[in-house]
Amino acid sequence: MKKSFSSIMIVIGTVIGSGFASGKEVAVFFSRFGKISYFFIVLSFFLFYGLIYFFLSKGSKALERLSKSKIFSLLCLFVSLIFSSSMFAGTINILPSSAILKILLLVVVVVVCVIVASKGIKSLGFINSILIPTTIFCMIYVLFSNFKDISFATFNQNGFAGLLFTILYAVLNFSISGVVIAKTGEMLTKKQKAIVSFVSSFLLSSFLMLTNFILLSNPDAIRQDMPLVYISSGLANLFISFVIFSGCITTLFSLVWTSRLALKRLGVSLKWSIVISVLMPLSLSMLGFGSIVSYLYPLASIIGIGILLLIFTVPVKNH
């Protein structure tokens, strides 16, 4: 039970980053398609389940076979740096306005990133087991406090484009986090893998559905960099700030560790791989959270498709 719980927290922690928690990813990949987006979110549950179960069950062996490929490592590194830069940007956006306090908290985040990059999956599981349950509670409060009327607002109803974006969204979240999930699966039984896959997928898709309801009821929020922050007030605004901060740093820790592994496979020393995996995305975060999610995420998703194809097909060819 303890292993399953820790694994669920790790899976959710790798996905529920700044884009997910703020509602920006839902706006970009689902809400823009109006009422048909509800169907695509249901579809995302099955995509999530299939991808999570695959990585828990076979991902470790697949990644092991690909570990010697320089091209594969470069692709993983590129996508991981894009994602981690958005996590840094989201973290900076949500930190207090006081310059001194903002710098101090950012330094703490960077230091923990270095620790996770050095120590690996055990430190990640410990951090997520503390932060993610609180994050889930706060997320539920924020969503239900903003849940008023179910709206079937009509925007772009292009079903083919919506289907494509749904697939891209699943790829976006699991092409790189799959490395962390695969490592987690090594300590689980077959039954535990099925439980972890179902519970994780259900929680993630439920949050997507509730967020989509809220955004379609508040169309003006869809264009904002952080839609849920825009529409939340009072205690909900405080909670969503914590959710985004927690989501940013837990996903960031996973991505930094993933980048460090990719750099290690490319022959970079431990010291420099840690420096690059932390400082490069911190520099890229200066592009701004909204710009990274709107423009670089779709590009990263396309590259992620290539990564998933390699993971799925190479073990078969080598069999």
pLDDT at 154: 57
Q: What angle do CA 168, 298, 63 make, to 5 degrees?
A: 60
Quickly state the pLDDT bin for 157 (edges 50, 70, 90).
low
Quickly state the pLDDT bin for 316 (edges 50, 70, 90).
very low
Two tokens, residue 136: 């889930």
pLDDT at 279: 92
pLDDT digits (tens, 9 = 90+) for 52-110: 998 888 777 766 766 677 888 888 888 888 888 988 888 888 787 788 888 898 899 89
pLDDT of 256 above 70: yes
Residue 67: partners with Cβ closer than 8 Å, 6 or more residues away = 73, 265
Quickly state the pLDDT bin for 203 (edges 50, 70, 90).
very high
pLDDT digits (tens, 9 = 90+) for 130-147: 888 998 899 999 988 887
* 3-class DSSP assignment, residue 67: coil
**Quick one: which of 7, 300, 319 has its CA closest to 182?**
7
User: What percent of the chain is modeled with pLDDT above 90?
Assistant: 18
Two tokens, residue 87: 């996590």
Q: Which residue has the tokens 């509602």?
A: 23
Query: What is the pTM assigned to this prediction?
Result: 0.78
pLDDT of 194 above 90: yes
In this structure, what is the dihedral angle of CA atoms 249, 254, 257, 258, given to the nearest 10 degrees? -130
Q: Distance (Å, rounded) from C-alpha 228 to C-alpha 21? A: 8
**249-278: average pLDDT:** 87
**243-248: average pLDDT:** 84
Structural domain boundaries of the chain?
2-317
Q: Distance (Å, rounded) from C-alpha 81 to C-alpha 154? A: 35
Q: Is residue 256 within 8 Å of residue 84, measured between CB atoms?
A: yes
* 3-class DSSP assignment, residue 71: helix
pLDDT of 128 above 90: no
pLDDT at 158: 67
Q: Distance (Å, rounded) from C-alpha 23 to C-alpha 229? A: 9
Q: Any idea which of 36-45, 64-73, 122-131, 310-319 has the lowest mean pLDDT?
A: 310-319
pLDDT of 283 above 70: yes
**289-318: average pLDDT:** 72
Quickly state the pLDDT bin for 319 (edges 50, 70, 90).
very low
CA 298 remoteness from chain centre: 14
Tell me which CATH homologous superfamily contains domain 2-317. Amino acid/polyamine transporter I (1.20.1740.10)
Average pLDDT, the chain: 83
pLDDT of 196 above 70: yes
Task: Between 171 and 12, name the one with better pLDDT.
Answer: 12
**Quick one: which of 119, 78, 86 has its CA closest to 266?**
78
